[in-house]
Amino acid sequence: MRISLLQQNPVVGDLRGNEQKIIRGIKKACKENPDLIVTSELALLGYPPRDLLLQKKFIEKSWQIAENIAAECRAAPPVLLGLAQRNESDVGRPLFNVAALVNNGEVNYCFRKTLLPTYDVFDEDRYFEPAHDAQILHLQNQSIGISICEDIWNDRDFWNRRRYQTDPIEDMAAQGADLIINISASPFTVGKQQIREKMLGSIASKYHIPLVYVNQVGGNDDLIFDGRSCVFDSSGSLIARAKSFQEDILTSDLSSTESNRISPADFTPESEIWRALVLGTRDYVHKTGFTSVLLGLSGGIDSALVAAIATEALGKDHVLGILMPSPYSSTGSIDDASALVANLGIQSKTLPITPIMDAYDMLLRQEFARYSKDLTEENLQARIRGTLLMALSNKFGSLLLTPGNKSEVSVGYCTLYGDMCGAIGVISDVPKSMVYRIARWLNDQNQREMIPQPILTKVPSAELRSCQTDQDTLPPYDLLDEILYHHVELHESPEEIVARGYPKMTTFQALHMVKVAEFKRRQAAPGFKVTDRAFGTGWRMPIAAKEWYID
């Protein structure tokens, strides 16, 4: 059997655009004479459609378009098309998440998803009713188990703790499936593809049946999808893999592995995160209707890396860097920002904020007369810059990028309505130590200084007062990032982290800062998810809550 996998980049809600993309993919795949063509999960709707699924007319229109696809591709081999099906029963959730069989000009049958994730960024139980039996397609004397994304992530022999009581793949194998197909929209996190391939190979080997996995690619809101659709033979060996972080059509011959293609995949963390953020930035900008971006350039590492990502994603002519020096800005920082602009070839403008600071000081002098200077004046500087950036964004019609990293967002080392202004937090899920690693990797890959060397070596500083450094307020970033990793991603308490050997006062201080910064993060721009635990749709912490570990 020859199977073509359509690894495509849909736009959520763009039913007509996705229709044409799918039709083009089907027609292109037909040139390779497949017996079956397969799209990714909810490919017609775009993933994740979230509460668009609650719009009845949206679902109705998607089925009209599915019928159009069937008519347009009448001469094509059977197609498994990802979309949502209405639950006609008066019991249960309103929809099923399905792979619809499109054949002979009609939508013939729907294979339903069984396991509905409700953890992290997923909330499928909100919309979908689960299947309750094995979903088997009979085609060309083959019994093919049809599974959808989460259905394949519950193998009892691979995971130490299974999330669900049932295993659809086990049920399909018990019913004599000769092949397993899984259509997915599985979001990227660094290192996840290696786990995917190990798991998928293990399942194929366990049941001695080939396994086909097709994944979505592209960025939708805070989620990025890496593609890398793949095929495993009955021994569990990888026999085909599609491209990484780009659209592809992968046709695999299950009976003759010599003709299969295994596209290379660089699993280096710096490389994976860089490519994910470039793809996410490009898609977020274009899918929201923008063609250009701007950002403030401080001469620091964060804005430098974000500028480099934007330049790679959109091209140098579509990126504008804004320098906004104050009396506390060092000559070195201004020079470093200017050097970055030259290295990347982007446009820049300089707007000194000293006159605006003076105007604020004059206006507030009487009100502040009995108070000494503190964070208020520092935050005013950040908010002046934020106001200027938003003004330019409005006037130029350019999307504003937010440069804060995960370490600083975690502990609230950022100013609400100041440097937190913007439409997307490009590196808000990238710890500070990884920001440096990616910047050095980028320079090595290009064999030249994309990020100026002084930016990589100088002591980090917000430069909001004289002789300021980040470590006046924060622990050293390497230490902070380790503590945050154990707390944010591994859900460990202060006591558990201290038991690992981390300083007690530093640990409790850092976790207190995480807690009290929750109100800031709730108002922050969305940010691209690249780790297992991001401050996005999967983070659901209360604001008005006590630190339970403090008696």
Active centre residues (catalytic): 41, 113, 149
Rounded to an integer, what distance in angstroms lies between the CA atom of residue 105 and that of residue 67? 8
488 token code pair? 């944010």
397 token code pair? 């019609």
Q: Quickly count helices (H) and strands (E) in the chain.
A: 16, 19
Rounded to an integer, what distance in angstroms lies between the CA atom of residue 415 and that of residue 341? 25
Residue tagged 């008519």 (tokens): 71
Residue 279's CB: how many other CB atoms inside 10 A?
26
Tell me the three state secondary structure of residue 117: coil
Cα-based angle 49, 51, 55 (whole degrees, multiple of 5): 100
- Among the residues of 208-330, which ranges form H helices? 269-287, 301-314
Rounded to an integer, what distance in angstroms lies between the CA atom of residue 483 and that of residue 494? 9
407 token code pair? 């370490």
330 token code pair? 């060092």
Closest CA to 144 of 171, 176, 96: 176
Q: How many Å separate Cα 65 from the centre of its chain?
A: 28
Q: How far separated are the first and last CA of the chain, in Å rounded? A: 64
Rounded to an integer, what distance in angstroms lies between the CA atom of residue 530 and that of residue 190? 6
Closest CA to 430 of 292, 305, 281, 266: 305
Beta strands 319-323 and 293-296 are parallel
Phi then psi dihedrals of residue 52, to 5 deg: -60, -25
374 token code pair? 């503190």
Rounded to an integer, what distance in angstroms lies between the CA atom of residue 224 and that of residue 482? 25
Question: Under a CB-based contact definition with an 8 Å cutoff, are residues 43 and 10 in contact?
Answer: yes
The letter for the amino acid at 389 is L
Rounded to an integer, what distance in angstroms lies between the CA atom of residue 83 and that of residue 15? 11
- Among the residues of 93-178, which ranges form H helices? 168-174
The strand pairing partners of 98, in sequence order, are 83, 112
Residue 444 makes CB contacts below 8 A (sequence gap 6+) with none
Cα-based angle 16, 60, 76 (whole degrees, multiple of 5): 55
Phi then psi dihedrals of residue 513, to 5 deg: -65, -35
Q: Is the peptide bond before 48 cis (omega within 30 degrees of 0)?
A: yes
Rounded to an integer, what distance in angstroms lies between the CA atom of residue 327 and that of residue 417? 21
